[in-house]
Amino acid sequence: MDQQKYIDDLREIREIMNRSSKFISLSGMSGIAAGIIALIGAYIANTMVYSQLDEGAINDVATDKMPLLYQLMWVGGLTLVCSVAAGVLFTRNTAKKKKQKLWDHQTKRLLINLAIPILSGGIFCVILLLHGQLAWIAPLTLVFYGLALVNASKYTLGEIRGLGLAEIALGLLAACFTGYGIWFWAVGFGVLHIVYGLVMQLKYKS
């Protein structure tokens, strides 16, 4: 009996320490929603772009194809905004259920460490787009996104690190098959997020 009480006390102390040092209000539903939105975005992009460009054209986009790049950027931007909005909504609901603050010192540290690789990768990808190098956008976005997740994982739940490593591996694989970027995007930002969300739901009931 005393031993069980001791174990319960240790568990409670560990939970308190986690709440004070890590952002633990991540929602599994936010991952699932982001994944579904990403799959919809990938389908739209595939319909708009891949129906007009063959594999060779995708690897070396000519100047007269630049309007298609802008269309792809619009689709990607809208997908990102919707995914972030869904993530914030579900995470806020999770924080309310756990009676925790959504915005605090841990959130700031998480976002800063997440933003550095994402912004760096985003600027690099824009530079490549301006040079018409569409083929490398999908691999690089996956790799930089994975690096961002790994970098931020020390301030949140460990599952984020696993997702980040999977994104990096997928990005490196995508670099070997540059004509299929949207498909790799669909897997990385769609399927992997849904799997991550389901794991979070089952493990944390979030």
Of 103, 86, 118, 206, which is closest to residue 157 (Cα–Cα)? 206
Which position has the token pair 């063959």?
A: 54
pLDDT tens-digit series, residues 86-117? 888 887 887 777 777 766 777 788 888 889 99
The pLDDT assigned to 162 comes to 93
Tell the burial category of 76 from Cβ atoms under 10 Å away from its Cβ (0-12, 13-18, 19+).
buried
Specify the DSSP element, H or E, that contains 188: none
Task: For the chain, give every domain's residue range.
Answer: 26-204
Distances (CA, A) of 117 to 53, 143, 191: 30, 10, 22
pLDDT tens-digit series, residues 126-178? 898 888 787 898 999 999 999 999 998 888 878 889 999 999 999 999 999 98
Q: Collect all residues with Cβ–Cβ distance below 8 Å to 198 and sequence separation of at least 6.
A: 28, 31, 32
Residue type, 16: I
DSSP 100: -
pLDDT tens-digit series, residues 19-76? 444 545 577 888 899 999 999 998 988 887 666 655 445 555 544 556 777 777 788 8
